[in-house]
Structure 1
């Protein structure tokens, strides 16, 4: 697979992952039973696995690695924040109010990751 095709796959998965998280966040906030559907629980893992695999392959193909390139390090740290806040928002926070706060934090982390990817700078300059 060419670098550009892989990058297109990666960006598509970024969009699908973000939209899927927003939808699941909406369902969480509204108390929808759709949040418990099998497809809702499985599909995000498929998309995120392809997303991570394409990211690792792109890093290898380009010779740019986290903890060497500052912007990639920032993306990895943003990703860990996004995952942690997302898990709290959709499953682990003890109250609806706490879940909504974590949802906002996860969305901010997602926006930060996209911003760093677009600017290739950890401070979004």
Structure 2
């Protein structure tokens, strides 16, 4: 397994995932019927599955694991929060206002995850400063 390839694929999938999430969030808040397009639903699942596969491969390659290394544990917990808040943003939020704020919170959680990755620290961006 080539470390740089796996890392770059993981990063690429993360960028694609958040970009598609933001697009779908805009559709959700605006009440667009395009949100129900089958391709958008399938594409998000494919990208997120590849993101997770590359994440698992990276943990094996760098030999750092959740519940052993704090920053990866923090990322995993934040990932679960992102998924929960993201489902509110896309489909479970009862009103456009709830979906909007859930979208903002989900993007903030994603930013935290990204910062934890860059810093290799649970304090995320605060550890870099």
**TM-score normalised according to structure 1 size:** 0.96
Structure 1, unaligned stretches of length 5 or more?
none
Does 2:100 align with 1:100? yes
103-112 or 24-33: bigger deviation: 24-33
**Structure 1 runs of 4+ with >3 Å offset:** none
- RMSD of aligned alpha carbons: 0.8
In 2: Cα distance, 1:52 partner to 1:80 partner: 12
Q: Which runs of 5+ in 2 are unaligned?
A: none
Within 5 Å, which residues of 2 pair with 1:58-97?
58-97=58-97
Whole-angstrom distance in 2 between the partners of 1:4 and 1:20: 24
TM-score by length of 2: 0.94
- Equivalence for 1:8: 8
Residue 64 of structure 1 aligns to a residue in which SS? Answer: coil
Aligned residues: 125
1:34 aligns with 2:50: no
Whether contact under 8 Å (2:16, 2:47) holds in the other structure is yes
